[in-house]
Each structure stands twice: as C-alpha cells, then as structure tokens.
Chain A
C-alpha cells in the first residue's frame, strides 16, 4: 500500500537497470557515433533543447500547415542550417513531417545516414530530458564530448523499401554488419533506425528499461513494474495521443 509522504524528487530511488541505462545513454550521447562525432552529437542535443523555445517552431506549431510560417530558427549553434531545421522539426513537430520535406533536406546536403543518426540523437535526448522533467529534476547540463571518430559504416543490406529512409530487413543482414535486432526484436519500429544499427541499440537499450522489454509487453501473467500493464498502457496511450503518434 502506497503511503502519502512529502515528495522530494532528489530522494527518488531509480531502479538499478533504469539508472544504469540512463547513465549509459548519457555516455553514448557524448561519444562518437557512426556518422557524427561526440561533439556534433552533443550539438544536436543542445539544438533539441533550443528548439522548444524557438519562435519559428512555435509559429509553425500553431499554423495549420508548418510550411506557411517562414523565418529562421532561433539561436542556431554550431551546426549547418539544414541540420538545425531537421532537429527543430523532429523535436517540436514530428507528427507533421513529410517525405517531401525529408528529401528536400537530403538535397540540401545532409546525407541519409547523418539524418538517421540525428533522429536517434533527438530521440535519446528527448527520452533523457523527459524523464528528468517528469521526475521533477532540473535539466542536466550536457556532458563533455568524448574523443573519437565516427565509424562511417553503412550496412550492405540497407534499402529504401519500407520507410522514407533506408532500412535493413532482418533477412538482409550481411556478414560483418552489426545486428540491431538480436537483443530487442525486429518489429518495424526497431527497423526505423537500422541504417545506423548502433542507434537502434542506443535507443532501445534505454527504452526497454523506461517501458518494457518486447516479450514483457504482452505477458499479462506477470507485472514487471510498480505500474500494472493496464496502467502503463493507459498512460502510454494518452502520451502518444498528445504527441499525435500514429504508430
């Protein structure tokens, strides 16, 4: 039976597995990825934070169509403007992205691989910051960048046949390519970032601790959290609806 007591966010005990994956996610955010350096990944994360106070993003969000609001994003940092546009749109209005917009970003010089990794970074910092905000903790300063160079490996089996971006079907995994599906499964949502396999692992290693592991989601015979399955799905459904998430 839960007991009413003074709420102190700093005193909350975080589950071991969740605390471990949050810590790892912060490290991964600051480390060289497959197509971006650690410093560039952190610049993307910083841009996500700026996006929430961006005047252009706010006007677009309020507009019937985001393409009717013109102007520049507030306070761009050290990233090319096309990356700033990508990060701000995904951070603030992802539900109204279009294939046409995405391909115009590719034409502006952003590669498909850079884009997919940027999506992963946006998702990761969104999860980490949302968790702290929801707990009532202050936003953490971004960590220092770790040294290292991107590995720049594109999976041989990647094809543009399912999503707007190229993905790797499980049956198209080539020898020598990292397997993004072995641990967390191979549903479509796991395929979303599979052009950059490490981003699949970066996100879902954290996500299965935030939410549930794939096999736990429909295991109604057992509860894995302090919230029951039905409580989790009620809250998850409301958050998804507020985000306009079709998935």
Chain B
C-alpha cells in the first residue's frame, strides 16, 4: 500500500509500476511536456487500451474525492480500523481532526 503513496513505483513488483506512478504524478502535478511524455510512456509500454484505462483511473479518483470531501461522509468502520495506522503515518488524521 505504501508503494502507491510514496516513491516512484519501481521495485514493488507491479508490472510497469514506475510508468503508472509517473503517469499519475504527471497528470496531477506535471506541466504539458511531462504529461505528454507520461502518456507516450504508458502507450509504448502497455498499449492503447491500457492508456485509456490509465486515463480513466485518473479521472475516477480525481472525481470521487469531491464526493467524499464535499459531503463529509466518513469511512466505513471496517475500513477505518484497517487503515488507521496508515492514515496516521501519512498525516491524514491531522486533516480529519481539523475538519470538524
């Protein structure tokens, strides 16, 4: 799980992990040149269908956060318990405590 949140995605055993992580970083934080390079890398390594799916995942997770944050909906209890340590480690609990 930590690999999804930190690092460049290499060495975590996910095929083309570093290319996908760079794709996500470029779409959210990159300039036009970096985005173009990231798209070309996904397309060259994984093909057109994977390129479409990667774009779709970025779109989904860029949008769903609006529902969660905009409504103040809490995590389900079982998810909260399962991710408590990780959220504390990432500092997300500080955000939640400040959101009351």
B-side contacts of A231, CB under 8 Å? 14-17, 20
A20 at the interface (CB under 8 A from B): no
- Known contacts A2-B47, A238-B5; A203/B56 CB under 8 A: no
Contact status B74-A237, CB under 8 Å: no
Contact of B64 among A123, A128, A237 (CB under 8 A): A123
12 contacts between A and B (CB under 8 A): A14-B52, A15-B52, A94-B70, A122-B66, A127-B60, A134-B39, A167-B71, A193-B67, A231-B16, A235-B23, A238-B5, A243-B61
Contact status A94-B74, CB under 8 Å: no
Contact status B73-A97, CB under 8 Å: no
A7 at the interface (CB under 8 A from B): yes
- Known contacts A18-B52, A163-B71, A234-B14; A123/B66 CB under 8 A: yes
Contact status B9-A238, CB under 8 Å: yes
Contact status B72-A234, CB under 8 Å: no
CB distance from B25 to the nearest CB of A (A): 7
CB distance from A130 to the nearest CB of B (A): 4
B69 at the interface (CB under 8 A from A): yes
B-side contacts of A11, CB under 8 Å? 48
Contact status A234-B66, CB under 8 Å: no
How far apart sit A238 and B60, CA to CA, in the bound complex (Å)? 12
Q: Is the interface on chain A under 10, 10 to 19, 20 to 34, or 35 or more residues?
A: 35 or more
A-contacting residues of B (Cβ < 8 Å)? Answer: 1, 3-6, 9, 12, 14-17, 20-21, 23-25, 27-29, 35-36, 39-40, 43-76, 87, 90, 92, 95-96, 98-100
How far apart sit A136 and B23, CA to CA, in the bound complex (Å)? 12
Binary flags per residue of A214-234, CB closer than 8 Å to B gives 1, else 0? 000000000001111011111
Contact status B100-A99, CB under 8 Å: yes
A153 at the interface (CB under 8 A from B): no
Binary flags per residue of A1-26, CB closer than 8 Å to B gives 1, else 0? 01111010101111100100000000
| CB-CB nearest in chain B for A166 | B71
How far apart sit A130 and B55, CA to CA, in the bound complex (Å)? 8
Contact of A119 among B39, B70, B100 (CB under 8 A): B70
Contact status A246-B57, CB under 8 Å: no
Binary flags per residue of A83-111, CB closer than 8 Å to B gives 1, else 0? 00000001100111111101000000000
Contact of A203 among B20, B48, B63 (CB under 8 A): B63
Contact status A234-B9, CB under 8 Å: yes
| CB-CB nearest in chain A for B9 | A234
- Known contacts A231-B15, A237-B5; A247/B50 CB under 8 A: no
Which one of A69-77, A144-152, A205-213 is at the B interface?
A205-213
A-side contacts of B49, CB under 8 Å? 13, 15, 225-226
Contact status A192-B75, CB under 8 Å: no
CB distance from A229 to the nearest CB of B (A): 10
